[in-house]
Amino acid sequence: MFKPEELVIKKLDKNFYAGGKCINALAQVDFTVGRGEFVNLIGPSGCGKSTLLRCIAGFEKPTSGRVSLDGREITGPGVERMMVFQSFEQLFPWFTVLENIMFALKVTGMGASRAERREIARTYVAMVGLTGFDDFYPHQLSGGMKQRVAIARALSVRPRILLMDEPFGSLDALTRLTLQEELIRIWEETGVTILFVTHNIEEAIMLGDRIVVFETNPGRIKEILPNPLARPRSPEAKEFNLIWEQIHALLGFKNPEQMRAEKKVAKLFRGERELSCLTNL
Amino acid sequence: MRRSVLLLLCLTLITGGLMLPQVYGAPMEEIKIAGQFGLVYAPLTVAKERKIFERYGLKPVWKEYGSGGAVREALISGEVDVGFMGIPPFLIGWDKGCEWKIVCGFVIVPIGLVTNDPNIKSLKDFKPEDKIAVPSPGSIQHILLAMAAEKELGSPTALDNNIVAMPHPDGAAALISKKGIKAHFTTPPYLFEELSQPGCHLVIDDVTIFGHPFNFNVGVAPQRFYDRRPVVYSSFINAIGEAMAWINNNKEAAAKLLAPEFGLTPEKTLEYLNWEGMNYTAAPYGLMGFGEFMAKAGYIQRAPASVAEIAFDNVLAIIGSRAGSPSELERIQY
Amino acid sequence: MVKAREEKTERKKTLNQVLFIIGALLGWELMAWTGWFPPLLFPKMSQVLIHLWAGLSGGELLARVAFSLYIIGLGLSLAVVTAALVTTGAMLSPLISDWVQALMAVLHPLPGIAILPVIILWLGTGSRSIVAVIWFSSLWPLIANLHTGLRSVPTTQIEVGRNLGLKGSQLVRSILLPGAFPYILTGLRVGWARAWQASVAAEMVFGASGGEGGLGWFIYKKRFFLEIPSVFAGMILIILIGLLVERLCFEEVERRTVRRWGMTAE
């Protein structure tokens, strides 16, 4: 790798026990993420990609194997690994936009005074393009705005790595595209490492330096694809389509010819393409 | 055809006759009577069991209430024709404008203030935190306590902050188990039960406070009942008199009859009926004394000027009106 | 714009309600004037208001209200503390949680006043027993709401808290409690209403203890002295205090918190 290794996942196994049965959610997951890298995790539902993210965040303990950041083993949640969730409920409804960020700053001991924390929070609100919404309560914001605040809050505590669990999964197609662009800009501005779970092929190609494709039962890595496309990326580009087809095939769709035909139609309606992917996955 | 009709008519007459065996000719007049439960109301139980009211052509409807307040409210709202209550609750109603009067005296029973604290010898020994249970504010027990407080402590309200309201059985249980209260102003049979408990003793009794015996309860009826149904009224007086006389003359039989009602043995019931001071009488005693005290202490606006204001003519006739100095019966009303 | 219109309809609604109440009071007064009912049982409204004023200016009613509020405050605070302890226990141990739920299923439907006879036997009469009845009446709605409230806090919010390094009591204080606040508020509301009812009912059943009775005792005493206008005055005061606490206290807190935050306990 051209970048120094930061996150190392070694022979990770994760079993869940439910109703007397053992479910092997992750088996022998092995990969590393470099500093400042943007890695996408993609796979069908139940492939364990979210579980992997939760193991890295420290919310789940691996059954065996290890996860380490900068050589230190991860044993629990930590502020250097901030998670952004899919749920719109991740903001604290009793705090305004600014207070949500200031709260994160306060409990992590950042900013010497309230005034200073306010100033820091303001810069992050500006970074996600929400200047003017400082004093709005979460219930007054749209879904996209809420996710922006969540990203701002996660970034405000200066994590080494941002763990994003389908953060745009509940947004409409148009908002999703805008936020993808914004996320790339923010990533470039801050240099933070991003691990991004999605089940949308196009989103994975738009965002990541590398795309980790998972398969299911047990959840394991099928293939790690490099994504060398130059940014800004366009779905119109030929290479884009090539990677799209590659992932599509990796995800196990049997009739690429037919899918390609569908894709051409769908190209006219970007949003609907996603729908076809979603229903097929 | 005609025969079958005749047959039917015969059958109807026969069954009709069978269904009305108790009729003595005159139609039965309904009278609604309110009372409470307990030894005090023994004449009502006797009248009920021995069907005394029926002999006088009355069809009594018995209504039992949980407190004197409820009896009084039943009378005010016209739910019942006659009720029994202490003189003070009657006077409070009279003072507030109830058009009712005393029909008869009811019973005389010993009433007393019992304490479970051997250190309490007189009213002066009650500390501010010592609770004294009475059945309710404004009850005869409360007014007697106020009278005693005026005599011994100088002010009728001296013990008002000590009182708690409790129905007799609860008060007795609390006194005997020494839970929360120091004393209980009560009536038979609770008075007897409490006094037979070790550690409980009498602080003061009714006759010491009032000076002579008085009706613990009186019969009360609205003026309109007296005016509109004089025959029923007089039948009631006679019937209740017969019930009382029967108890006084047949204590043993009465005890047997009453025992299951009170959940006591006949022997115990007889002991209670024969307790010193028990007197089932319809004669008026002490009708006026309470009024004067209550007016002075501020429980009512004014005292009745004469017995005529608070009692019907049959009661006035018993008391009489002696020319010259008042008679014994007149004097005993104060 | 919308807000202004909403406020206008709100004001209109309040006005309608106030007019209705005034109308009802006038209707009452007229009914009393007709003399169809015994005045002793159905006093004139004007008479009631005069007694209310006399009671208030004479200081007796105020003392009664103060005592009622004091005793309710005491019982309710004890219930809040108990509910907090019980819920903490239930959160720490599934076994305790099962017990609490079983207890709640059995005891929640029992009106507080129903335990009065037992309470009298155990604690005797007096304010201690009334406090116990108030405590019992308000405890169950408090526990039920606290329990549901804590469960209603989204897992993601708790995980965000853990992600930020919060643990144990910090997590409870800064995330679980505010998250459960809509339910806590509902619990306090129901608890307060039941405490108020319990205190009045308990005092009316066993008449408290003379000097230190509350409004229930006031009504009880006035009933026995047949001062029916005062009985009504006491009732009106109970209604007024209930309304005041609801309007000035709970609704205001709700407006400033739950409604402002867009959080509603369904």
Residue segments in chain C with a per-residue pLDDT below the cut of 50: none
- Apex A148 CA angle, A95 and A112, nearest 5: 55
Which residues on C lie below 8 Å from B181 (Cβ)? 124-125
User: Are A65 and C235 in contact, with CB atoms under 8 Å apart?
Assistant: no
pLDDT at residue C103, rounded to an integer: 87
Alpha-carbon gap, residue C43 to C28, rounded angstroms? 9
Cα radius of gyration rounded to whole Å, chain C: 22
Q: Which of C44, C51, C64, C125 to mutate to test the interface with B (most CBs of B within 10 A)?
A: C125
**Higher-pLDDT residue of A86, A47:** A86
Q: What is the spatial distance between Cα B267 and Cα C109, in angstroms, rounded to a whole number?
A: 45
CA end-to-end distance (rounded Å), chain C: 27
B253-291: buried (b, 16+ CB within 10 Å) or exposed (e) per residue?
ebbebbbebbebebebbbebbebeebbbbbbbbbbbbbb
| Lowest mean per-residue pLDDT among B15-24, B117-126, C113-122 | B15-24
Indicate whether A196 pLDDT > 70.
Answer: yes
Residue B14 confidence (pLDDT) above 70:
no
Percent of chain A predicted with pLDDT > 90: 62
Per-residue pLDDT, B251:
93
Q: Please report the pLDDT score of residue A258 as a whole number.
A: 56
Q: pLDDT confidence of B21, banded at 50, 70, 90?
A: very low
Note whether B101 and B90 are within 8 A (CB): no
What is the average pLDDT value for chain B, to the nearest integer?
Answer: 88
At position A280, the amino acid (one-letter code) is N
- Minimum CA–CA partner of A104 in chain C: C164
Establish whether chain B is in contact with chain A, requiring a minimum of 3 CB pairs below 8 angstroms: no
Does B4 have pLDDT greater than 70? Answer: no
What pLDDT shows up at residue A90?
A: 95
Work out the pLDDT band at A273, boundaries 50, 70, 90: very low
C5 inside 8 A of chain A by CB: no
Query: What pLDDT score was predicted for residue B219?
Result: 94
CA B179 to mean position of chain CA atoms: 28
Q: Is residue A277 predicted with pLDDT exceeding 60?
A: no
In chain B, which residues have their Cβ closer than 8 Å to the Cβ of C125?
A: 131, 133, 164, 166, 174, 179-181
Over residues A48-66, the pLDDT tens digits come to 889 999 999 999 999 999 8
With a pLDDT cut of 90, the percent of chain B lying above it is: 57
C-alpha–C-alpha distance, residues A175 and A145, integer Å: 9
pLDDT tens sequence across B267-276: 999 999 998 8
Give the list of residues 6+ apart from residue B72 with CB closer than 8 angstroms, or none: B83, B85, B89, B90, B93, C226
| Per-residue model confidence (pLDDT) at position A163 | 96
Instruction: State the pLDDT confidence band at B264, using cuts at 50, 70 and 90.
Output: confident
CB atoms within 10 A of CB A118: 16
- How many Å apart are CA C265 and CA A41, to the nearest integer? 37
pLDDT tens figures, A154-186: 999 999 999 999 999 999 989 999 999 999 999
Can you tell me whether residue A159 is helix, strand or coil?
Answer: coil
Closest CA of chain B from C130, distance in Å: 13
Q: Has residue A266 got a pLDDT over 90?
A: no
Q: Which residue of B has its CA nearest to C210?
A: B161
Mean of pLDDT values over B123-133: 89
Summary mean pLDDT of chain A: 87
| pLDDT at residue B113 greater than cutoff 80 | yes
pLDDT of residue A256: 54
Alpha helix positions (H), chain A: 49-57, 97-107, 114-127, 143-156, 173-190, 201-207, 238-250, 256-268, 270-280
Look at residues B52, B44, B58, B118 and name the one whose alpha carbon lies nearest to residue B282. Answer: B44
pLDDT digits (tens, 9 = 90+) for A86-137: 999 999 999 999 999 999 999 999 988 999 999 999 999 999 999 999 999 9
3-state helix vs strand vs coil in chain A, percent to 5: 40, 25, 35
**Pairing between β-strand B82-85 and β-strand B29-35 as defined by DSSP bridges:** parallel
B55 vs A210: CA distance, rounded Å: 110
Which residue among C163, C174, C263 places its CB closest to the CB of A79? C163
The string of pLDDT tens digits covering residues B205-255 is 999 999 999 999 999 999 999 999 999 999 999 999 999 999 999 999 999
- Integer angstrom CA distances of residue B200 from A189, A270, B140, B196: 91, 95, 22, 8
Angstroms from C111 CA to nearest CA on chain B: 21
Strands across the sheet containing B29-35: B58-64, B29-35, B82-85, B217-222, B100-108, B279-280
> Residue C209's pLDDT is what?
54
Query: C235-253: per-residue pLDDT in tens?
Result: 989 988 988 898 889 989 9
Which chain C residues are Cβ-neighbours of A90 within 8 angstroms? Answer: 154, 156-157, 160
Q: Give pTM, 2 decimals.
A: 0.78
Of A78, A81, A90, the CB nearest to C160: A90
| pLDDT reported for residue A276 | 45
**Which amino acid, C161?**
G
Q: Which of A79, A81, A85 sits opposite C156 (nearest CB)?
A: A85
pLDDT digits (tens, 9 = 90+) for A65-80: 989 998 889 999 999 9
